């Protein structure tokens, strides 16, 4: 997390004219009328010669101020003073906490071959560990063995945390033997996207400039999973600085098709979960970074509501859009992990303390489920599988309600993300270390960071004002339904709901003609992860797509 915008539009641009390829020039550079004329083209405005001349004193004064501000080191962990509020006007949330009810696991016996446990659900593994039919040490050794065997092939592991894992697994077994069972994550091995800090291990953010970075803290999410008794076995890959599946060590692979990347940016989290290298993983999403790799790798992901899960100790990309959530084999596994990691931490000031209510016994047919009618009727690649999903929901007693999403220029608002990302990595750009990044094409971060410096502050603020309007409109859309189902990449839904902060569950709903998984997405109301998880579980329980595993990783 880094600097925030506080300057007016042309001021930012005029200062930017004093830069060449993102590198600061001599402090004595002065802004002239010709510079303002050039900046006009970038921002799409025109001023008279007299107006431009009148600006010069202010622009030069601001340029001096930029240089003074840049003498202050601002780390990625420093947030903006301005915070996004996803709560609609007049919203009255349910504040009653009820008992979280999980379903009974299907497999309750220890298999003859311990390797068969690789694809058990968290709830199934939890039952075996609690009954001491399987030990955490056995399970941890099995997963570490698979990480060592298959990790290089999938290019999904940055760092194995074996010493830490074995110590935690031994502790878990002793605690359980002593009768101190902490809950369904106790003794369960997991992996974490390598933008979460773990004391004593590198936190590389997937990028060459940070390859040797060691942050001597534990991210809050890691602390909470430690407290739940879970066992971290690996730090998993992410596309460099949370974009795509290319990192400094290679390209993370899709276990279903090794010629294909796993998508990103939670590339390793999805790939490792899909291939049975971890019981579950932690990913993050700013704009599709859970939905996309979960789709590609055929696993289930929960993107929680913005303001639900602490980002303390996590790399910041966009303070107003970043979210942390689980990538698992089943919807209910996501519920178990989410319950452990959600809630305020006293540091991340964007967090809102609201209950998590999940009851696996609620039939999906009792829920009011909307569907984005025009998106399902469009001509797109996954239309057949998605139509089958709607039919399966109807068979379960769901009366689908057609809805239409708010009509705003959603794609145009994406520069909210890139403006914040450019600020988050301001030092990388100004130092020239962005040249160390593996990907240097026009669409990669180094170039995007540079071009995003020319986004006027006024336009950034205006986009966020439209975003406020979008939040209010989405509240009206959701007023008469509990959740809605939508093609995972249909229309502008993915970016729109990342901007509004709504939770989503993405889960497999079939395979395409090439034999690769495809997915469907359920969107829930703000801070109501419980209901959207119930809806998604209802559909998942009526299918078997989540039980399929990539044949190359038995």
Q: Indicate if 122 and 254 belong to the same structural domain.
A: yes
Domain span at 182: 114-408+467-547
Number of CB atoms found within 10 A of residue 409's CB: 10
Q: Indicate if 313 and 242 belong to the same structural domain.
A: yes
Q: Angle at CA 354, nearest 5°, toward 533 and 242?
A: 65
Query: 242 in the Ramachandran plot: left (φ > 0), alpha (ψ -120 to 50) or beta?
Result: left
For residue 1, pLDDT over 50 is answered with no
DSSP string, 390-430: HHHHHHTT---EEE----S-TGGGGHHHHHHHHHHTHHHHH
Q: Indicate if 472 and 399 belong to the same structural domain.
A: yes
Q: How far apart are CA 115 and CA 355, in angstroms?
A: 37
Q: How far apart are CA 480 and CA 403, in angstroms?
A: 10
- What is residue 391's predicted lDDT score, i.e. its pLDDT? 98
Q: Indicate if 166 and 225 belong to the same structural domain.
A: yes
Task: Indicate the residue among 45, 72, 99 that finishes a domain.
Answer: 72
Q: Indicate if 363 and 498 belong to the same structural domain.
A: yes
265 is catalytic: yes
For residue 507, pLDDT over 80 is answered with yes
Which ranges of 101-199 does DSSP label H, i.e. alpha helix? 122-130, 136-154, 162-177
Q: Give domain status of residue 434, yes or no.
A: no
Query: Which of 193, 251, 323, 537 is an active site residue?
Result: 193
Q: How far apart are CA 462 and CA 82, in angstroms?
A: 14
Q: Produce one character per residue of 230-257: b if its CB has 16 or more CB atoms within 10 Å, e if not.
A: bbbbbbbbbbbbbbbbbbbbebbbbbbb
Q: Indicate if 25 and 145 belong to the same structural domain.
A: no
414 is catalytic: no
Q: Give domain status of residue 90, yes or no.
A: no
For residue 238, pLDDT over 80 is answered with yes
Number of CB atoms found within 10 A of residue 12's CB: 24
| 36: three-class secondary structure by DSSP | helix
Q: Indicate if 260 and 131 belong to the same structural domain.
A: yes
Query: 346 in the Ramachandran plot: left (φ > 0), alpha (ψ -120 to 50) or beta?
Result: left
Q: What percent of the chain has pLDDT over 90?
A: 94
Task: Indicate the residue among 72, 103, 133 that finishes a domain.
Answer: 72
Q: What is the pLDDT of residues 366-376, one digit of tens each?
A: 999 999 999 99
- What is residue 28's predicted lDDT score, i.e. its pLDDT? 60
Short-list 158, 144, 141, CA closest to 269: 158
41 is catalytic: no
Query: Which of 263, 265, 452, 519 is an active site residue?
Result: 265
CA distances from 283 to 181, 215, 223, 385, 466 (A): 26, 19, 15, 26, 28
Q: Give domain status of residue 158, yes or no.
A: yes
Q: How far apart are CA 263 and CA 185, in angstroms?
A: 27
Q: What percent of the chain has pLDDT over 70?
A: 95
Q: Indicate if 119 and 216 belong to the same structural domain.
A: yes
Q: Indicate if 123 and 260 belong to the same structural domain.
A: yes
Q: Indicate if 67 and 162 belong to the same structural domain.
A: no
Q: What is the mean pLDDT of residues 501-527?
A: 97
Q: What is the pLDDT of residues 117-158, one digit of tens each?
A: 999 999 999 999 999 999 999 999 999 999 999 999 999 999
Number of domains in the chain: 2
Q: What is the pLDDT of residues 383-440, one digit of tens each?
A: 999 999 999 999 999 999 999 999 999 999 999 999 999 999 999 999 999 999 999 9
Q: Indicate if 401 and 481 belong to the same structural domain.
A: yes
- What is residue 63's predicted lDDT score, i.e. its pLDDT? 92
Q: Which domain CATH number covers 141? A: 3.90.1300.10
Q: How confident is the model at residue 273 (pLDDT cuts 50, 70, 90)?
A: very high
Q: Give domain status of residue 486, yes or no.
A: yes
Short-list 538, 548, 171, CA closest to 329: 548
Take residue 212 and report the two structure tokens written for it: 């040797």
For residue 26, pLDDT over 80 is answered with no
Q: Are the C-beta atoms of 256 and 550 separated by less than 8 Å?
A: yes
What does pLDDT average to over the chain? Answer: 94
Take residue 160 and report the two structure tokens written for it: 């194995």
- What is residue 25's predicted lDDT score, i.e. its pLDDT? 52
Query: Which of 262, 269, 271, 289 is an active site residue?
Result: 289
For residue 161, pLDDT over 80 is answered with yes
- What is residue 487's predicted lDDT score, i.e. its pLDDT? 98
Q: Indicate if 130 and 268 belong to the same structural domain.
A: yes
Q: Kindly state the greatest CA–CA separation across the chain.
A: 84
| 302: three-class secondary structure by DSSP | strand
Task: Indicate the residue among 9, 38, 72 that finishes a domain.
Answer: 72
């Amino acid at each position: 997390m880094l600097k925030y915008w506080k300057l007016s539009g042309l001021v930012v641009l005029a200062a930017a004219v004093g830069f060449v390829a993102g590198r600061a020039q001599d402090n004595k550079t002065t802004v002239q009328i010709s510079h303002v004329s050039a900046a006009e083209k970038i921002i799409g405005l025109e001023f008279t010669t007299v107006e431009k001349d009148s600006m010069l004193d202010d622009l030069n004064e601001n340029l001096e101020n930029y240089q003074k501000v840049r003498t202050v080191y601002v780390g990625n962990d420093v947030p903006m003073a301005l915070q996004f509020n996803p709560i609609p006007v007049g919203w009255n949330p349910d504040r009653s906490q009820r008992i979280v009810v999980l379903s009974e696991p299907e497999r309750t016996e220890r298999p003859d071959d311990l390797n068969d446990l690789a694809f058990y659900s968290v709830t199934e593994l939890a039952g075996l560990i609690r009954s001491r039919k399987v030990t955490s040490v056995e399970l941890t050794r099995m997963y570490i063995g698979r990480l060592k065997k298959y990790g290089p092939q999938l290019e999904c592991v940055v760092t194995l945390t074996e010493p830490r894992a074995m110590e935690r697994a031994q502790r878990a077994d002793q605690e359980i033997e002593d009768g101190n069972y902490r809950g369904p994550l106790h003794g369960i091995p997991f992996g974490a996207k390598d933008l979460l800090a773990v004391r004593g291990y590198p936190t590389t953010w997937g990028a060459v400039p940070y390859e040797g970075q060691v942050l001597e803290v534990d991210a809050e999410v890691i602390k909470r999973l430690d407290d739940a008794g879970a066992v971290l076995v690996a730090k998993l890959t992410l596309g460099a600085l949370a974009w795509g599946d290319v990192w400094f060590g290679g390209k993370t692979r899709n276990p279903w098709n090794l010629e294909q990347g796993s998508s990103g940016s939670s590339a390793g989290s999805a790939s490792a979960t899909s291939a049975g290298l971890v019981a579950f993983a932690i990913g993050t999403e700013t704009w599709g970074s859970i939905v996309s790799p979960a789709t590609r790798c055929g696993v289930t992901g929960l993107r929680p509501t913005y303001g639900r899960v602490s980002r303390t100790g996590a790399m910041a990309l966009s303070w107003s859009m970043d979210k942390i959530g689980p990538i698992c084999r089943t919807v209910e596994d996501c519920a178990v992990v989410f319950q452990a990691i959600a809630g305020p931490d006293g540091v991340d000031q964007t967090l809102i303390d609201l209950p998590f209510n999940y009851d696996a016994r609620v039939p999906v047919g009792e829920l009011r489920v909307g569907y984005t009618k025009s998106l399902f009727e469009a001509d797109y690649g996954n239309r057949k599988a998605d139509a089958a999903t709607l039919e399966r929901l109807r068979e379960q007693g769901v009366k689908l309600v057609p809805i239409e999403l708010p009509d705003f220029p959603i794609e145009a608002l994406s520069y909210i993300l890139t403006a914040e990302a450019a600020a988050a990595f301001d030092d990388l750009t100004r130092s020239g270390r962005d040249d160390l990044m593996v990907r240097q094409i026009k669409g990669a971060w180094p170039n995007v960071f540079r071009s995003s410096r020319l986004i006027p502050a006024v336009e950034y603020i205006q986009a966020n004002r439209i975003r406020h309007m979008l939040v209010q409109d989405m509240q009206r859309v959701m007023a008469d339904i509990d959740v809605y189902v939508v093609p995972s990449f249909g229309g502008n839904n993915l970016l729109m709901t990342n901007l509004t902060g709504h939770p989503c569950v993405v889960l497999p709903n079939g395979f395409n003609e090439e034999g690769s998984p495809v997915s469907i997405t359920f969107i829930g109301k703000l801070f109501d992860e419980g209901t959207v998880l119930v809806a998604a579980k209802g559909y998942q329980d009526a299918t078997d797509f989540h039980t399929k595993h990539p044949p190359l990783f038995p």
